[in-house]
Every structure is written in C-alpha cells, then in structure tokens.
C-alpha cells in the first residue's frame, strides 16, 4: 500500500471526482478523509475496479490525486495480482462451497436454483440472472452459517446469538460487544472448512474478546479442522472471492 507523508496545512475540500483515468484505464475513485491519518494511503478494490484513497484531514484532494497517478505501475500490478472479475452470467464458472460450478441458464429451466455435480441450473429472465443468483448465494450462506453457528455454540455450551450476513470489504467475520455475529456472505464461495473456521473464530470471541493465548486455545478446542490451513487458504484466495459478480 503506497503511503505519502505530508506537512500539516489548512485543509481544502473540493468535491472529489467519482472516476479517475490513469494510463488510459478508468477507475472508480473512493476518497475518504480520516482524522487520525498522517499520510495519504492508496488501496485497490479489484472487485469494484476502484481506487480507495485515504487523506489526512489537512491534505488537499489534488495532492491525493497526484499521488495516485504517480502509483500507476503499482496500481496495474495490484489489479493483475488480483485477477480478472467473473460476471455471474450464463456459462460462467464460479466457485460454490469451494468447487467450481458452471452456470447453466436455460429458459426451459425453472426459476428455482439447483446446484449439483458442478452445475448451477437456473431459468427465469436472463436480465435478472445476476441479482437472483446473488440472492440465492446469500440465502445459502445464511442457511449454512446458521447451522455452523448452532453447532459451535452447542460445543461451547453457550446460547446461540443473532447472526447477520456482511458484505464487508476487508473482514470475513466480526463479533460485536452485544454478541451479534456477522459473517461475510462470500464465504459461501469458499470451501466449507474455511467458512466454518471463520464462524468458529467469532464464536470463540463470545468467551474471549481478544486474540490472546487463551482465545486461540479455546478456538482450537472448538474447531475440528486446522485453522492455520484455513487461514492460509483465505490469505491466498480470499481476495478472489470479491471478483465473483458485482454485488
């Protein structure tokens, strides 16, 4: 992540452009000001084809844009590492529960989505295929994560808390102070053991709201798999899950 240090000066806040062209490629531009930031920071969001520019309170927008333009080679390399996006459309190959599935759309198929033997069969109007399949994936995520949560809470001997799906861009799961657990719906695309590792991680936080030695001991007691293997999978492949579809 490129960083540029700045001298403090009187802030200027012109309207941020919504798109930015660098070396002939057009990017969505998301500008955020952070009161505690001491440097300009730039990240890429391949799923949205976007540049995320964080500015200190006193930085000028023009400085941030100039900094982004100066990172053209890094930006291109970052998008190249992430790979290309996979639209949800007839014939596309997308992951589902860790296995590639071909989208078999046909007007003669029913509207009900059926996943079996590496095929996702679906009918209905082609122009609504992506939002319908995305809703189905989210419903599958909610169903499986609900079962995962009940399983691990039973093992932990604790009441099952509320579960919500998340679309967070950089977090796979979270556990709030009131006990609500949020799980990123895109984990339905990952192998089952990876999804379950995230759910059990948040269940372990119901007892230890930290990442202490006791937390990891409790996590390893609850989880039937190898959490380090699951963590490595997410580190290697997690970013690619955001390249499936546009929702």
67 and 31 Cβ atoms separated by less than 8 Å: no
Please state, rounded to an integer, the average pLDDT across all residues of the chain: 89
Structure tokens at 100: 């590639």
- Residues 39-52 have pLDDT tens digits of 999 998 876 778 99
The radius of gyration of the chain from alpha carbons, rounded to an integer in Å, stands at: 21
Does the pLDDT of residue 104 top 60, yes or no? yes
34 and 54 Cβ atoms separated by less than 8 Å: yes
pLDDT band at 204 (very low <50, low <70, confident <90, very high): very high
What does pTM read for this prediction? 0.73
Q: Are strands 99-105 and 114-116 parallel, antiparallel or unpaired?
A: unpaired
CA distance 86 to 187: 16
Task: Give the model's pLDDT for residue 47.
Answer: 67
Task: Give the model's pLDDT for residue 78.
Answer: 82
Percent of the chain residues topping a pLDDT of 70: 91
SS3 content of the chain, % helix, strand, coil (to 5): 40, 25, 35
Task: Give the model's pLDDT for residue 81.
Answer: 73
CA distance 163 to 45: 26
CA distance 234 to 50: 21
Most confident of 82-91, 105-114, 125-134, 191-200: 191-200
Higher pLDDT, 83 or 196: 196
- Residues 6-23 have pLDDT tens digits of 544 444 444 455 888 888
Does the pLDDT of residue 171 top 60, yes or no? yes
Does the pLDDT of residue 177 top 60, yes or no? yes
Question: Which domains does the chain show, CATH number per domain?
Answer: 3-82 (no CATH), 127-241 (3.30.2010.10)
CA distance 211 to 189: 26
**Mean of pLDDT values over 111-124:** 95
**Mean of pLDDT values over 133-156:** 98
CA distance 200 to 220: 9
Does the pLDDT of residue 168 top 90, yes or no? no
């Amino acid at each position: 992540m490129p960083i540029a240090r700045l001298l403090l000066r009187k802030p200027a806040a012109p309207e941020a452009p919504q798109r930015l062209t660098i070396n002939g490629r057009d990017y969505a531009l998301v500008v955020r000001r952070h009161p505690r930031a001491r440097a300009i920071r730039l990240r890429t969001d391949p799923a949205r084809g976007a540049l995320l520019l964080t500015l200190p309170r006193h930085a000028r927008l023009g400085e941030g844009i100039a900094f982004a333009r100066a990172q053209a080679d890094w930006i291109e390399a970052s998008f190249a590492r992430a790979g290309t996006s996979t639209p949800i459309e007839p014939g596309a190959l997308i992951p589902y529960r860790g296995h590639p599935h071909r989208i078999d759309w046909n007007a003669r198929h029913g509207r009900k989505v059926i996943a079996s033997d590496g095929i996702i069969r679906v009918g209905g109007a082609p122009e609504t295929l992506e939002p319908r399949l995305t809703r189905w994936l989210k419903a599958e995520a909610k169903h499986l994560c609900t079962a995962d949560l009940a399983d691990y809470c039973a093992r932990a001997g604790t009441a099952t808390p509320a579960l919500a799906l998340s679309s967070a861009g950089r977090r796979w799961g979270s556990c709030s102070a009131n006990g609500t657990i949020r799980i990123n719906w895109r984990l339905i695309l990952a192998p089952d053991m990876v999804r379950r590792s995230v759910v059990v991680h948040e269940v372990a936080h119901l007892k230890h709201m930290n990442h202490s030695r006791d937390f990891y001991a409790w996590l390893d007691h609850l989880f039937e798999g190898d959490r380090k293997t699951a963590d490595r999978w997410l580190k290697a492949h997690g970013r690619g899950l955001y390249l499936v579809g546009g929702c």
